[in-house]
Amino acid sequence: MTQSISPDDRPRVRLKPKTNARGLRHGFPWVYASDLVTDRRTRSLSAGALAVLEDENRAALGLVAVNPVSRIICRMLDADPAAVVDRDWFSARLRHALEMRERVYDAPFYRLVHAEADGLPGVVVDRFGDLAVVQPNAAWAETHLDLLTGALIAVTGVTTVLKNAGGRTRALEGLDETSAVLAGTAPDGPIPVPMNGATYMADVTGGQKTGLFFDQRPNHRFAAALSSGARVLDVFSHVGGFGLAALANGAGHALLVDGSAPALSLAELGARAGASADRLTTRQGDAFDVMTALRQEGAVFDVVICDPPAFAPSKQALDAGLRAYERVARLAAGLVAPGGYLGLCSCSHAADLARFRAACARGIGRAGRQGQLIHTGFAGPDHPQLPQLAESGYLKALFFRL
């Protein structure tokens, strides 16, 4: 259900005295609960309600979505406090996002909306040809999901829209975990996705996140360039991101390691689709255990890539996460042949580049190896960064020659 309150009748919420409003005026998209006057009227607003945000002097700063149960109590939607959030408003934002993706990519497989960085806070949309998967990870997006879906179909021409409710942040917004088909018909099997010469199989109804990680595309490409004729180890492989790209670009063999049997099955399907199944093997199990076992077996590889889940998803988890990244680097470095290459990745926004790089360097040193850092990679342009929001630049990929 969408909100029908006139802009003139919108509730108003106000920053606490001495709260710095400059960042909001210059593009920071969030207001934390500790910075907002949360009187009874504000606390009574429904999750996802639209309101005018004022500074302490009652000057309007813009139109925000309010969620009284969230630590991020306000998300900036529009600098115009009188903006009307209707289908045209969504269409304008989607057209702006689409125009850049169509310039950069030659096929409609990409992240179409990257939340705050594309002007739709908390909203993720991944496109798979004529199908789109939406993650409405903020209450306001859930409230306006019908308008977003209609605009998405009108702007892109997709015929199927799925809602994925598996995002970790939905619980923080007080939202449920119920996924749904919003338009069209859900596919009855994985969707083939062409990237970097390889074919990936995306399970858009039962896989991790929206079914595929588009963000690593440029890092897959860089690793593949190192892999001609190489023995490749892809750890935390999911559906074969680095391994399949390496095989498609001439790797001699790739071993994929992941804890998920369904993900490895999808990787095998992708290898068959790319005519490289004879050069692929998979090994299911805990990544740390498997790397330890490989070392005991005397295995060595020319290229080793580790792309683990977010070990430091929050500041509270930072220290433990950095220790985990260090351990990954130590175990992986011991499997790299002399003169070979090691790629280490982090999708933890709480672990910034400097801390992650230091953890990796410690791990490589603890393995008794020395490394040259030859490349630092980030997410592709379909995952733009909002300069004012560090969280939007979460992905780091470091490539070393050992």
Domain CATH for 156: 3.30.750.80
Residues 153, 246, single domain; the answer is no
Residues 165, 210, single domain; the answer is no
Q: Judge whether 376 lies within some domain.
A: yes
Q: Judge whether 60 lies within some domain.
A: yes
* CATH number (domain holding residue 33): 2.30.130.10
Q: Judge whether 138 lies within some domain.
A: yes
Looking at residue 4, its pLDDT comes to 54
Residues 168, 45, single domain; the answer is no
- Choose the final residue of a domain: 58, 78, 98: 78
Residues 57, 33, single domain; the answer is yes
Number of domains making up the chain: 3
Q: Judge whether 2 lies within some domain.
A: no
Residues 91, 140, single domain; the answer is yes
Residues 197, 270, single domain; the answer is yes
Output the tens digit of pLDDT for each of the chain's 402 residues. 454 566 678 999 999 998 888 999 999 999 999 999 999 999 999 999 999 999 999 999 999 999 999 999 999 999 999 999 999 999 999 999 999 999 999 999 999 999 999 999 999 999 999 999 999 999 999 999 999 999 999 999 999 999 999 878 899 999 999 999 999 999 999 999 999 999 999 999 987 778 899 999 999 999 999 999 999 999 999 999 999 999 999 999 999 999 999 999 999 999 999 999 999 999 999 999 999 999 999 999 999 999 999 999 888 999 999 999 999 999 999 999 999 999 999 999 899 999 999 999 999 999 999 999 999 999 999 999 999 998 888 999 999 999
- Choose the final residue of a domain: 78, 97, 121: 78
Q: What share of the chain is helix, strand, coil (3-state, %, to 5)?
A: 35, 25, 40
Looking at residue 8, its pLDDT comes to 72
Contact 204, 266 (CB under 8 A): no
* Domain that includes residue 176, residue range: 87-183
Residues 304, 368, single domain; the answer is yes
Residues 6 or more apart in contact with residue 9 via CB below 8 angstroms: none
Looking at residue 369, its pLDDT comes to 98
Here the contacts of 392-396 (C-beta below 8 Å, separation 24 or greater) are 392/114, 392/115, 392/116, 392/117, 393/349, 394/310, 394/347, 394/348, 394/349, 395/215, 395/216, 395/345, 395/346, 395/347, 396/345, 396/346, 396/351, 396/353, 396/356, 396/357
- Choose the final residue of a domain: 159, 183, 207: 183
